[in-house]
């Protein structure tokens, strides 16, 4: 019996020594220590031994088992470590490969001039206000002092939804809404889409974009209007830009003016773009009419204000040298990629 145990130990040691992986070790463990294992069977068969020999043989089997289990565990630890190493090596990600380039879109030229314009006015303390594109006739015309017989009210010029509701023809109604909702001081710009009945051509579109602005406070003068708009023009078109104000007419401002900026193509010399005049008209402006202030519940004996309005599409065309307004709406990638 003792001989047999020694032989088994030697055999198991060799098997463990030549096992190649954790799977082989597991098979050895089952062979010797499993339910039907060799050593297990040996322990069971001890009943057949003479009583005197049992403790000695029992101790021998136990010691042999402990040695073999220790050996198995050591080998197992070595294999597990190696297998883990191999898995890590196989699953390693090569982070040195350059990432695939993502195709990013670009901002539309209208968005670009809008953001620049907005930021210039935000820098001067203005807020951005928005209003509905489908507007009451009252806010679009009546409260802006636009008389019943004014041509802009005509069916020929305006998209009516009912006789009281229409697609706004300018963003000035947002100024009315602001004055009704808020007491001075007011400093706001109102960007947005506006609609007029127009045939599509190189310079016209039935939908285009405006930014208008309004300042109302105590002691606001025409000097403030000129100062603010001059700062704006230089910030947008460059510091060498000169501005020029010409008398004009709007029902909701008095006095009213058009502002021209020196042509950025020829610098004021006169060229094809400015039709030889050296200047290009970019916006309407004026001191808010007293009856508009009054209609909005602002006392014109205490407060005064100025307003202005410009077409964004026109400004984008000027800033980027775009000859045809239709390009802004056609979504042609070859055009849009250039900004």
Binding span for ligand PHE by CB under 6 A among 155-163, 217-225, 280-288, 331-339: 280-288
Q: Which of 146, 285, 292, 298 binds ligand PHE (CB under 6 A)?
A: 285
By C-alpha distance, which of 221, 124, 136 is closest to 174?
136
Q: Which spans in the chain are helix H?
A: 2-18, 22-33, 38-44, 54-91, 109-123, 137-140, 172-181, 222-237, 290-295, 312-320, 333-336
237-276 binders of ligand PHE (CB under 6 A): 250, 253
173 in contact with ligand PHE (CB under 6 A): no
Please answer whether residues 122 and 154 qualify as being in contact, where contact means their C-beta atoms are separated by less than 8 angstroms: no
Query: Where is 250: in which H helix or E strand?
Result: strand 243-250
Q: Which of 173, 191, 305, 309 binds ligand PHE (CB under 6 A)?
A: 309
Q: In the bound complex, what is the minimum distance in angstroms from residue 268's beta carbon to ligand PHE?
A: 24
215 in contact with ligand PHE (CB under 6 A): no
Q: Which of 262, 308, 312, 322 binds ligand PHE (CB under 6 A)?
A: 308
CA R_g for the chain? 44
Contacts of 66 by beta carbon, 8 Å cutoff, 6+ apart: none
**Measured from the CB atom, is 29 or 170 closer to ligand PHE?**
170
Q: Which of 188, 215, 293, 307 binds ligand PHE (CB under 6 A)?
A: 307
211 in contact with ligand PHE (CB under 6 A): no
- How far apart are alpha carbons 150 and 148 in whole angstroms? 6
**Measured from the CB atom, is 184 or 286 closer to ligand PHE?**
286
- How far apart are alpha carbons 265 and 321 in whole angstroms? 9
Q: In the bound complex, what is the minimum distance in angstroms from residue 135's beta carbon to ligand PHE?
A: 13
Q: In the bound complex, what is the minimum distance in angstroms from residue 279's beta carbon to ligand PHE?
A: 18
Q: In the bound complex, what is the minimum distance in angstroms from residue 115's beta carbon to ligand PHE?
A: 21
- How far apart are alpha carbons 308 and 285 in whole angstroms? 4
DSSP per-residue letters across 200-222 = -BTTB-SEEEEEEEEEEETT--H
**Measured from the CB atom, is 212 or 260 closer to ligand PHE?**
212
191 in contact with ligand PHE (CB under 6 A): no
- How far apart are alpha carbons 229 and 223 in whole angstroms? 10
- Dihedral (C-alpha) 255, 138, 179, 297: value to the nearest 10 degrees? 90
Q: In the bound complex, what is the minimum distance in angstroms from residue 104's beta carbon to ligand PHE?
A: 35
Residues in contact with ligand PHE by the rule CB under 6 A: 170, 172, 212, 250, 253, 284-286, 307-309
């Amino acid at each position: 019996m003792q001989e047999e145990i020694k032989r088994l130990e030697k055999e198991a040691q060799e098997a463990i020594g030549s096992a190649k992986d954790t799977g082989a070790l597991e098979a050895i463990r089952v062979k010797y220590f499993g339910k039907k294992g060799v050593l297990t069977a040996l322990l069971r068969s001890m009943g057949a031994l003479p009583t005197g020999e049992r403790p000695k043989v029992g101790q021998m089997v136990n010691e042999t088992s402990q040695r073999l289990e220790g050996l198995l565990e050591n080998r197992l630890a070595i294999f597990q470590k190696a297998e883990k190493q191999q898995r890590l090596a196989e699953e390693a990600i090569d982070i040195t490969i350059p990432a695939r380039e993502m195709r990013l879109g670009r901002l539309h030229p209208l968005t670009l001039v809008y953001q620049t314009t907005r930021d210039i006015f935000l820098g001067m303390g203005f807020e951005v206000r928005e209003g509905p594109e489908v507007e009451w006739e009252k806010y679009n015309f009546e409260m802006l002092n636009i008389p019943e017989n004014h041509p802009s009210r005509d069916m020929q010029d305006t998209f009516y939804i009912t006789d009281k509701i229409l697609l706004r023809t300018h963003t000035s109604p947002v100024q009315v809404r602001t004055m009704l909702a808020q007491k001075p001081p007011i400093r706001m710009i109102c960007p947005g889409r506006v609609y007029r009945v127009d045939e599509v051509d190189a310079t016209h579109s039935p939908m285009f974009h405006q930014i208008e602005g309004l300042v109302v406070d105590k002691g606001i003068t025409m000097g403030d209007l000129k100062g603010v708009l001059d700062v704006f023009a230089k910030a947008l078109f460059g510091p060498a830009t000169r501005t020029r104000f010409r008398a004009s007419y709007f029902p909701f401002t008095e006095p009213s003016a058009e502002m021209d900026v020196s042509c950025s193509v020829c610098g004021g010399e006169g060229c094809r773009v400015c039709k030889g005049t050296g200047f290009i008209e970019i916006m309407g402006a004026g001191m808010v009419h007293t009856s508009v202030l009054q209609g909005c519940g602002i006392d014109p004996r205490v407060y005064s204000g100025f307003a202005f309005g410009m077409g964004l599409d026109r400004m984008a065309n000027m800033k980027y040298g775009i000859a045809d307004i239709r390009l802004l709406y056609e979504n042609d990638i070859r055009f849009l990629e250039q900004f």
